Amino acid sequence: MSAPKRLGVIGARGYAGGELLRLVAGHGGFKVVHLASRALAGQPFSALAPELGASGEIVAPDPEAAAQAGLDACVLAMPNGQAAAYAEAFDRAAPDAVIVDFSADFRGVDGWAYGLPEIAREPLNGARRIANPGCYASAVVLALAPLVPLLAGAASAFGVSGWSGAGTTPSPRNDEARLKDNVMPYAIAGHGHEKEARQALGVSVNFTPHVAGFFRGLVATVHAPLTEELSGEALAARFEAAYGSEPLIRLQSEPPEAKDAVNTPLAILGGFAAAPSERRAVVCCALDNLLKGAASQALQNLNLALGFVETRGLAAA
């Protein structure tokens, strides 16, 4: 048996970082040797992730220290705008280490593979720099990709997510009292995941996000104008041809609900409604924003980059 891969997680206290550590604990192919959290620096690993069974002391985030920790892989589970210093430090000190970045900082950047295997798997095999997709973008891209050759114009997407997607820093979007019995639209034009979906697909996509008073999970509904009439059966057949063999995608006739995907590593696609006379298709996608939208997606990408079976550690997610 080969030695476990030495893993570091920066921003391990956040929701997505915590989910990743839980998954890694059941993977069996990693040894967590570097955990960084500004709030928990100085405390033992067990204060953050007792399930790891690993000893060590949580440190404050420091790009140079992480790059010199002898890591095989490092996951950056930090907000946007903080990844560049780590990328530069690893490029200098540990260029062969795998970096998976949760933020938007390197999505669409040359030299960084876009980490959605169901759309482009080959660039992820053995990759060393991976930009983990955004949660909403993952749902929108998966719902639209099989229809790209038939698009007659801009697609439109409506998404609603649980408030964990807003992270742990207090804001109106994770204020449970404000969100109780409420749905809040935000960034109604120009959301970052709108740009990301456009880059990933090479087509025009308009997207409006919302947050509601549940903790995790999301659902996106996509409307696609088509160049030809398409029946509901033909629409579903296109998705079966694209994703029927994908282990982490589930196809169903009914529109998925947000709760259907919670605590699973799956993206669930369904609905497959067609309006042939209008040349329009509607598809829904549900996923867990902390798993397929972040942590389980990162582990899927690490598996591909490091030569593990792609779904290792994900069956019980």
* Residue listed under structure tokens 């649980």: 162
Catalytic residue numbers read 135
Q: Which residue has the tokens 């699973």?
A: 264
Distance in angstroms (rounded) separating the CA atoms of residues 120 and 213: 34
Is 249 strand, coil or helix?
Answer: strand
Sheet hosting strand 129-131, strand order edge to edge: 30-36, 5-10, 73-76, 98-101, 129-131, 113-114
Q: What is the mean pLDDT of each run of 10 residues along the chain (317 residues)?
A: 92 92 95 94 90 87 98 96 97 98 97 98 98 98 98 97 87 90 92 94 97 97 97 97 98 97 98 94 98 98 98 80
- Domains of the chain plus CATH, in order, are 5-132+294-306 (3.40.50.720), 135-287 (3.30.360.10)
C-alpha to C-alpha distance for 236 and 274, rounded to whole angstroms: 10
pTM higher than 0.75 for the full model?
A: yes
pLDDT recorded at residue 1: 63
Token output for 285: 């996608």
β partners of residue 160:
210, 219
Q: Tell me the two tokens of residue 19.
A: 């989910």
Cα 126 to Cα 302: distance, rounded to the nearest angstrom: 9
Distances (CA, A) of 55 to 32, 52, 182, 206: 9, 9, 43, 47
- Cβ(206)–Cβ(223) below 8 Å: no
